[in-house]
Structure 1
Amino acid sequence: MDVIINQLIEEFQLPLQNPVLIFSLILFIILLAPVVLHRIRIPGIIGLIVSGIIIGPAGLNILEKSLFVDVFSTIGLLYIMFIAGLELDLNEFRATRNKSLLFGFLTFTIPIAIGFPVCHYILGFDFNASLLTSSMFATHTLVTYPIVSKLGVSKNVAVAITVGGTILTDTAVLIMLAVILGSHDGGLTQEFWIRLGISLVLFSAFMFLVIPRIAKWFFSKLESEKHSHYIFVLSVVFFSAFLAEIAGLESIIGAFVAGLALNKLIPHSSALMNRIEFIGNSLFIPFFLISVGMIVDISVIMSGPMALIIAGTLTVVAIFGKWTAAFLTQIIFKFSKGQRNLIFGLSSAHAAATLAVILVGYKAGILDDNILNGTVVLILVTCIIASFVTESAAKTIIRNSDEDEDIALSSPSLQETILIPIANLVNIEKILDFAVLIKDKKSINPLSILTVVPNTNEAEKTIHKAKQGLENYLKETTASDTNATVMATIDHNAASGISRTAKEIMADIILLGWPQKTGFLDKLIGDKMESILQNTNKTLFICDFEIPLVNHKRLFVVVPPNAELEEGFAHWVNKIAKLSVELSIPIHLNCNEATHQSIVKFAKDNKVNLTMGYKKFKDWDDFLIISREIHDTDLIILVSARKGYISYFGHLDRIPLKLEKHFPAISKMVIYPQ
């Protein structure tokens, strides 16, 4: 018994050394701190930072800054930057790149313009120390980005601008740090500038030209190995961070660029994206936030009046500089108060980049202990303020968007039901991926996967076997946080079973696979399709995905005249727009001017950001003229119409057959609107 007690006493000696015990403690903090503090309305991020202060070397000294802690905190920091790059809506970013550039310029120059005179003339620092300290004011870390992501406002234009501005300002500061160090060491030579320029060009070329090609090949060759996809993504992130350091940048820049490079290949609603966010938000990012708290030493403000003055001045200047940049951005772009506060909340937290700048300056002898201690206090105060401001602003934006939203869709999003009849399992994975991408995330209804069984004596056994076969494919929809249910019905023929089930569950969309080839060129609109079209009045998608969805480069959409007058117009436009955003690919629209203007108006009224090219099209009697514009990586989308409806005309019946005959290896889809 004494041996066990002595062993326990030895294991619990502070600071803890047993890695299993350390990891257990961290997990308990990650589990309990946000839950406890949420009850008193304190953001979970603050709880994790405060927990780090308590257990850190300056607190109860339960944990010390060890290699174990450093590794996990580094992973967490890189994860934050990677997710920020991955979740960035590239269509929105392209539309707001000028705004991002301007915000990046403001959030970089204003804090430096305010900070340098304060440091040099009021606090009495020398030139290099003043310049380096004021550049620290310009940096910010997206510590509060998980709040934005969790509340579902990560695609707001204010977030896109702030994330774009973050990478610009942090890159500028880190390059500025290299220049200051070169000046301090007397090494600011022509060779220094040439080496820095060449390394930046080589790094950018590798990340944006080589990595996407490797990733595309990997995802295609190992399409069924879903766990390997996650390991591959992690490998890219950390290797990119390493390459950034080799290029003379900070690793956080490499992680962010890795997110941008893989952005188009990982749809935001995919199972892989869900795994990335789940593991990061559950483990790695909380670990980083705890490590930020472990750096903070509250006792530094008690070390003398000068430390208190410097800490207070640095904190006030940092907050005021970032608020001024956010305020000017609001004025210039006419943003709402909520968007201004969201920009301020995201850009006001100082942590990783700030600490990197100050520690490098401290080790180089440019900065003294008072500046280092003052910066540590600044990190704590700005993280707390940023957490409260970001959460409040995000909730304000959500409330305002709910009030202002123009409901132009034909079905309530909360009740949207998608029916997926499955005749065989050949293309079920791609169709399920497509369903997950276009499904409205607000809908409480699961995807309904249907198999129709012939009415024979073996019907019950056939139903059981069919359900077992389909259950295996539900794992991926579950991994993407999309619920799905398997249904089976008995009917004399598949078409009537599909039509009847669609009515029973009040389906809004029916997703069908492209009819299988039967050895001769069968007519696409055969008895089965004709029956489904006549007996259901909901939107019908007939899909043929020849390559994985993420490998498509463009949505080639062909729309007949008067399509805007159909009842289901808004519904299919919304789904195509959603697919464009999820895959981060543009739309190439072929239609007449009236339809084009209606689509543009729909996007504007519903605040949908479309990256869209337009070409006037009227050659329906010579439809194959479009073949000269179609590429192998296009997804051809033909919007058709049911007979007797306003946008229907005879040529539409023959076009699916032409698509199958002339574009057998290119992905295609035919839509019959509600």
Structure 2
Amino acid sequence: MALESLVNSPIIAFTILLAVILTVPPIFERLRLPGLVGLLVAGVILGENGLKLLNSESETINLLSEIGKIYLMFVAGLEIDLEQFRRTRNRSIGFGILTFIVPLIFGIIAGRLFNFSWNTSLLIGSLLASHTLLAYPIVSRLGVVTNEAVTVTIGATIFTDTGALLVLAICVGIHGGDFSALSLATLLGGLAIYSAVVLFGFDWAGKQFFRRSGDEQSNQFLFILLALFLASVGAQVIGVEKIVGAFLAGLAVNDVLGRSPVKEKVEFIGSALFIPCFFIDMGLLIDIPAFLKTLSSIWLTVVIVIALIGSKFIAAFIAKLLYRYNNAELLTMWSLSLPQVAATLAAALVAYQTVNPAGERLINEGVLNSVIVLMLVTSIMGPVITARSATLLQVSEADLAADKLTTWWESSEEELLEKHAENFTIIVPIYNPQTQRYLIEMAALLARHESGKIVPLAITKAHIQMDDPQLVLALEENKKRLNLAKEISQEFNVEVLPVIRIDDDAALGISRTSREQNANLVVMGWSRTTGLRARLFGSVIDSVFWSSHCPVAVTRLLSSPATIQRIMVPVGDLTKQTIGAVRFAQILADVNQAEVVLLHVSDRKTPPQLVDRFTAQLSEIVDKGQLQVNTHIQTIKGDDIARVIIHEAQKFDLAVLRSVRYRTAGGLAVSHVTTQVIRELKCSIVLLGEPNS
């Protein structure tokens, strides 16, 4: 009786869910398995076939799982880069049609082989037709996102996911009975009108609301959530499954959110809570005896997996012939379109839960279990192949175009002419007297090199009453800090313009001041804000990275920047951001007559000719710079990139790193390599972030 009350208690169930979400995924990731797999396994163990601690029929699980399901599709819409899609629209549509139609046909054939109805077979085909960009972080890390084959595959996601959800809506309608040509036409017409209202109406309303709400992130966050649930409810009203509305809502607010901090918060809430609840619920639905029975008659699972892998390869091969891509691009397109997670699992669950008047499900347990196996196989297989094939891709010429300027933060001769009449300006937010000297020294060295000025900035927390004694005291303290900053700056003979700002938000105060001063660079000290609060609301550094109009250099300096003699720059790709880090290191080295070492860590299985080509391209970039700085390129082979960087950094005074964030199927993640390196490095660090990074 006590156990039954535990199962039925919403608070107990929610507590168990939180404990699972917090502990299980990291354990599976250490085993080199996707964290989502761990959530499925946890659902099986805690469900009816295991400890019976969670009940899939409970209102708590149902609510959180439903929200997670529509959130998963919403994030899938948000993650699609519309700008990239527009650049290669025609080819993206072409590959989208191929990688949708071919798997659809294979899925229908597979369904008919096992005597499923035409409607169920069509649904199985649609499950194979979509794909999840699970390996996007890999191509991002390798710096090959701008390769046309990658861009085309990313753009094709819009077509495959939309098409798969459309087929789902039709199949669900047919399975419900009383479905005729007239009702089909009515459904498609309603869906077309509804899609137009969501895509254009929500986009317009979102832009209007964001423009009027200014920096009120909480209201903007609530607006996005309201848009998500309104679109989901609207889909149900017209007789379409709600995940269709969620996906369209994600596409609709994609441009509205851009790269704003609100987008990270929206995705974080989903990836930290609701989406994991959906995967746990999927585990609760797995009937172990039925699952084992499915695997004992393994042919259905084998045929579905082979049909998916083979059809996606055929689609990529046809695209290769049509667009004249090479083998590396073929394999990358194939592997990127392999993983079946977001749309596939959400649609499979909807189909499994769809029951007609006769009590028959649209797909049975065998198909559902086969789809789960398909998810496991492709979510491992796809990224592994991508990691190998993407290293062979040609880097876009646009990303290899080396900056001819001595400064890394200016990207064109036109910008240089526009700014010629203005002093180069560096904003230096100051707060901690113990680290203030080194921070000001770093900014002064850079400003002196560029014949510019520095603006020491002290942010004072606003109070309701401007004559509040605490505010007066804080202003006096900041004046003392600014006077000290001025004294330090004058040692380097640079122009100083101290500024005090009263603001409610320190990060926005920094960004607003840098915009008002038309700054070229922000040099900040290290923020120690960590943990759940930083993940939920972001640290000051995160917020400045998001909101700043210019590059940001975050420093953790253990000694005076004037004494730095050896600088290390880990180089993993050849993007403009990496080139920017190299330029920054060269400028600092030029000031101190120091040495720069560019460290490239490659996988042990990387062919030597590829490493040689990368080194040659990097050497060309270094040679094109106008600064005559002692710069060396060092290549090391190793499986643990972070460990190699940490070991090599022991020989250096400073490491210059990039802030890298990746979009994933479950939300946003920070580069694991960068995170580990920052935590364990014993030398001084400069972490560079581009605007809106």
Answer yes or no: same fold by TM over 0.5: yes
Could you say which residue in structure 2 is the equivalent of 1:450?
A: 456
Could you say which residue in structure 1 is the equivalent of 2:675?
A: none
Q: Number of aligned pairs?
A: 462
Going from structure 1 to structure 2, the CA distance change for 1:60 and 1:336 (only over 3 Å counts) comes to same
Is 2:78 the counterpart of 1:72?
Answer: no
Is 2:411 the counterpart of 1:419?
Answer: no
**Which amino acid is the alignment partner of residue 274 of structure 1?**
E
Is 2:370 the counterpart of 1:363?
Answer: no
Could you say which residue in structure 2 is the equivalent of 1:57?
A: 48
SS, match of residue 456 in structure 2: strand
For residue 72 of structure 1, report the CA deviation from its aligned partner: 1.3
| Distance (whole Å) between structure 2 residues aligned to residue 245 and residue 277 of structure 1 | 24
Is 2:365 the counterpart of 1:373?
Answer: yes
Is 2:283 the counterpart of 1:293?
Answer: yes
SS, match of residue 249 in structure 1: coil
For residue 388 of structure 1, report the CA deviation from its aligned partner: 1.1
Question: Which of 225, 238, 258 does residue 234 from structure 1 map onto?
Answer: 225
SS, match of residue 420 in structure 1: strand
Is 2:397 the counterpart of 1:391?
Answer: no
**Which amino acid is the alignment partner of residue 379 of structure 1?**
V
Question: Which of 73, 82, 85 does residue 90 from structure 1 map onto?
Answer: 82
**Do the aligned residues in 1 keep the contact of 2:316 with 2:330 (CA within 8 Å)?**
no
**Do the aligned residues in 1 keep the contact of 2:80 with 2:155 (CA within 8 Å)?**
no
| Distance (whole Å) between structure 1 residues aligned to residue 477 and residue 142 of structure 2 | 34
**Do the aligned residues in 2 keep the contact of 1:85 with 1:260 (CA within 8 Å)?**
yes
Structure 2 length-normalised TM: 0.56
**Cα distance per residue 1:607-651 (max 9 Å; x no partner):** xxxxxxxxxxxxxxxxxxxxxxxxxxxxxxxxxxxxxxxxxxxxx
| Distance (whole Å) between structure 2 residues aligned to residue 413 and residue 116 of structure 1 | 54
| Distance (whole Å) between structure 2 residues aligned to residue 18 and residue 150 of structure 1 | 44
Going from structure 1 to structure 2, the CA distance change for 1:363 and 1:63 (only over 3 Å counts) comes to farther
**Do the aligned residues in 1 keep the contact of 2:134 with 2:339 (CA within 8 Å)?**
yes
Going from structure 1 to structure 2, the CA distance change for 1:61 and 1:497 (only over 3 Å counts) comes to farther
**Do the aligned residues in 2 keep the contact of 1:15 with 1:64 (CA within 8 Å)?**
no
Q: Which runs of 5+ in 1 are unaligned?
A: 1-9, 423-447, 454-460, 470-484, 503-508, 516-528, 533-537, 541-549, 551-569, 576-604, 607-674
| Distance (whole Å) between structure 1 residues aligned to residue 299 and residue 340 of structure 2 | 26
**Do the aligned residues in 1 keep the contact of 2:28 with 2:34 (CA within 8 Å)?**
yes
| Distance (whole Å) between structure 2 residues aligned to residue 34 and residue 341 of structure 1 | 24
For residue 164 of structure 1, report the CA deviation from its aligned partner: 1.3
SS, match of residue 33 in structure 2: coil
| Distance (whole Å) between structure 1 residues aligned to residue 483 and residue 242 of structure 2 | 49
For residue 124 of structure 1, report the CA deviation from its aligned partner: 3.2
| Distance (whole Å) between structure 2 residues aligned to residue 45 and residue 81 of structure 1 | 16
Going from structure 1 to structure 2, the CA distance change for 1:411 and 1:21 (only over 3 Å counts) comes to farther
| Distance (whole Å) between structure 1 residues aligned to residue 210 and residue 512 of structure 2 | 28
Is 2:254 the counterpart of 1:263?
Answer: yes
SS, match of residue 41 in structure 1: coil
222-231 vs 14-23, which deviates more?
Answer: 14-23
Q: Which runs of 5+ in 2 are unaligned?
A: 412-423, 430-453, 460-470, 499-510, 523-545, 547-574, 581-619, 622-693
| Distance (whole Å) between structure 1 residues aligned to residue 13 and residue 139 of structure 2 | 29
Could you say which residue in structure 1 is the equivalent of 2:105?
A: 113
Is 2:255 the counterpart of 1:249?
Answer: no
| Distance (whole Å) between structure 2 residues aligned to residue 349 and residue 372 of structure 1 | 18
For residue 193 of structure 1, report the CA deviation from its aligned partner: 4.1
Going from structure 1 to structure 2, the CA distance change for 1:386 and 1:119 (only over 3 Å counts) comes to closer
Going from structure 1 to structure 2, the CA distance change for 1:511 and 1:257 (only over 3 Å counts) comes to same
| Distance (whole Å) between structure 1 residues aligned to residue 102 and residue 314 of structure 2 | 7
Going from structure 1 to structure 2, the CA distance change for 1:343 and 1:418 (only over 3 Å counts) comes to farther
Going from structure 1 to structure 2, the CA distance change for 1:235 and 1:303 (only over 3 Å counts) comes to same
SS, match of residue 345 in structure 1: coil
| Distance (whole Å) between structure 1 residues aligned to residue 203 and residue 487 of structure 2 | 47
**Cα distance per residue 1:301-345 (max 9 Å; x no partner):** 454899544444344434433444344445544225234212212
**Do the aligned residues in 2 keep the contact of 1:144 with 1:386 (CA within 8 Å)?**
no
**Cα distance per residue 1:569-622 (max 9 Å; x no partner):** x999x99xxxxxxxxxxxxxxxxxxxxxxxxxxxxx99xxxxxxxxxxxxxxxx
| Distance (whole Å) between structure 1 residues aligned to residue 62 and residue 80 of structure 2 | 27
| Distance (whole Å) between structure 2 residues aligned to residue 304 and residue 216 of structure 1 | 49
Is 2:299 the counterpart of 1:313?
Answer: no
For residue 92 of structure 1, report the CA deviation from its aligned partner: 0.6
For residue 230 of structure 1, report the CA deviation from its aligned partner: 1.0
Could you say which residue in structure 2 is the equivalent of 1:615?
A: none
**Which amino acid is the alignment partner of residue 114 of structure 1?**
F
SS, match of residue 54 in structure 2: coil
Is 2:149 the counterpart of 1:167?
Answer: no
For residue 210 of structure 1, report the CA deviation from its aligned partner: 2.6
SS, match of residue 426 in structure 2: strand
Going from structure 1 to structure 2, the CA distance change for 1:129 and 1:349 (only over 3 Å counts) comes to closer
**Cα distance per residue 1:546-576 (max 9 Å; x no partner):** xxxx9xxxxxxxxxxxxxxxxxxx999x99x
**Which amino acid is the alignment partner of residue 475 of structure 2?**
K
SS, match of residue 363 in structure 1: coil
Could you say which residue in structure 2 is the equivalent of 1:99?
A: 91
Going from structure 1 to structure 2, the CA distance change for 1:274 and 1:314 (only over 3 Å counts) comes to closer
| Distance (whole Å) between structure 1 residues aligned to residue 226 and residue 199 of structure 2 | 16
Structure 1 length-normalised TM: 0.57
For residue 16 of structure 1, report the CA deviation from its aligned partner: 1.5
Going from structure 1 to structure 2, the CA distance change for 1:303 and 1:199 (only over 3 Å counts) comes to same
| Distance (whole Å) between structure 1 residues aligned to residue 59 and residue 29 of structure 2 | 31
Going from structure 1 to structure 2, the CA distance change for 1:301 and 1:493 (only over 3 Å counts) comes to closer
Going from structure 1 to structure 2, the CA distance change for 1:329 and 1:50 (only over 3 Å counts) comes to farther
SS, match of residue 269 in structure 2: helix
Could you say which residue in structure 2 is the equivalent of 1:157?
A: 151
Question: Which of 187, 198, 201 does residue 207 from structure 1 map onto?
Answer: 198
For residue 234 of structure 1, report the CA deviation from its aligned partner: 0.8
Going from structure 1 to structure 2, the CA distance change for 1:310 and 1:206 (only over 3 Å counts) comes to same
SS, match of residue 258 in structure 2: coil
For residue 284 of structure 1, report the CA deviation from its aligned partner: 1.6
| Distance (whole Å) between structure 1 residues aligned to residue 49 and residue 386 of structure 2 | 33
Could you say which residue in structure 1 is the equivalent of 2:680?
A: none
For residue 20 of structure 1, report the CA deviation from its aligned partner: 1.7
CA RMSD across the alignment? 5.0
- The structure that has the greater radius of gyration is 1
| Distance (whole Å) between structure 2 residues aligned to residue 375 and residue 364 of structure 1 | 21
SS, match of residue 485 in structure 2: strand
For residue 273 of structure 1, report the CA deviation from its aligned partner: 1.8
Going from structure 1 to structure 2, the CA distance change for 1:396 and 1:14 (only over 3 Å counts) comes to farther
For residue 276 of structure 1, report the CA deviation from its aligned partner: 1.6
**Cα distance per residue 1:387-437 (max 9 Å; x no partner):** 213433554477567988626145798999983379xxxxxxxxxxxxxxx
Going from structure 1 to structure 2, the CA distance change for 1:393 and 1:249 (only over 3 Å counts) comes to farther
**Cα distance per residue 1:521-570 (max 9 Å; x no partner):** xxxxxxxx9xx9xxxxx789xxxxxxxxx9xxxxxxxxxxxxxxxxxxx9
State how 1:256-655 maps to structure 2 within 5 Å.
256-268=247-259, 270-303=260-293, 308-333=298-323, 334=325, 335-345=329-339, 350-360=344-354, 362-363=355-356, 365=358, 372-393=364-385, 395-396=387-388, 406=400, 408-409=402-403, 419-420=426-427, 450-451=456-457, 465=475, 489-490=485-486, 499=495, 513=515
199-208 vs 39-48, which deviates more?
Answer: 199-208
Could you say which residue in structure 1 is the equivalent of 2:446?
A: none
For residue 239 of structure 1, report the CA deviation from its aligned partner: 0.9
For residue 194 of structure 1, report the CA deviation from its aligned partner: 4.5
**Which amino acid is the alignment partner of residue 271 of structure 1?**
P
| Distance (whole Å) between structure 2 residues aligned to residue 328 and residue 464 of structure 1 | 67
| Distance (whole Å) between structure 2 residues aligned to residue 213 and residue 99 of structure 1 | 28
**Do the aligned residues in 2 keep the contact of 1:133 with 1:358 (CA within 8 Å)?**
no
Going from structure 1 to structure 2, the CA distance change for 1:113 and 1:265 (only over 3 Å counts) comes to closer
**Do the aligned residues in 2 keep the contact of 1:115 with 1:137 (CA within 8 Å)?**
yes
**Which amino acid is the alignment partner of residue 44 of structure 2?**
I
